[in-house]
Amino acid sequence: MAMSDAMSSEEVQAAWAKLTEEIRTGVLLTLRNGRPFGSHVPYVFGEHWTSAYIHVSRLALHTEHLLRDPRVGLFVSEPDRPGKNPLALRRMNLQGEASLLDVGAPGYLAVKERYLARFPQSAMMFGFADFALWELRLQDAHLVLGFGQAYLSNATAPLEWLHQRPDQKGG
Give per-residue pLDDT as tens, 8-67: 999 999 999 999 999 999 999 999 999 999 999 999 999 889 999 999 999 999 999 999
Give the CATH number, domain containing residue 159. Answer: 2.30.110.10
pLDDT of residue 47: 83
- With respect to residue 103, please indicate whether it lies within any of the assigned structural domains: yes
In-domain check, residue 50: yes
- Any domain includes 83: yes
Q: Is residue 141 part of a domain?
A: yes
Buried b (16+ CB within 10 A) or exposed e, 67-106: eeebebbbebbeeeeeeeeeeebbbbbbbbebeebeeeee
Q: Is residue 170 part of a domain?
A: no
As for how many domains the chain has, the answer is 1
* 171 falls within a domain: no
Query: For residue 83, what are the domain limits?
Result: 3-163
Asked if residue 168 is part of any domain, the answer here is no
User: If we measure between CA atoms, which residue out of 123, 163, 124 comes closest to residue 8?
Assistant: 163
Judge whether residue 169 has pLDDT over 80: no
Sequence letter at residue 70: P
Q: Residue 2: what pLDDT?
A: 42
pLDDT at 4: 47
Residue 79 has pLDDT above 90, yes or no: yes
Q: What is the model's pLDDT at position 138?
A: 97
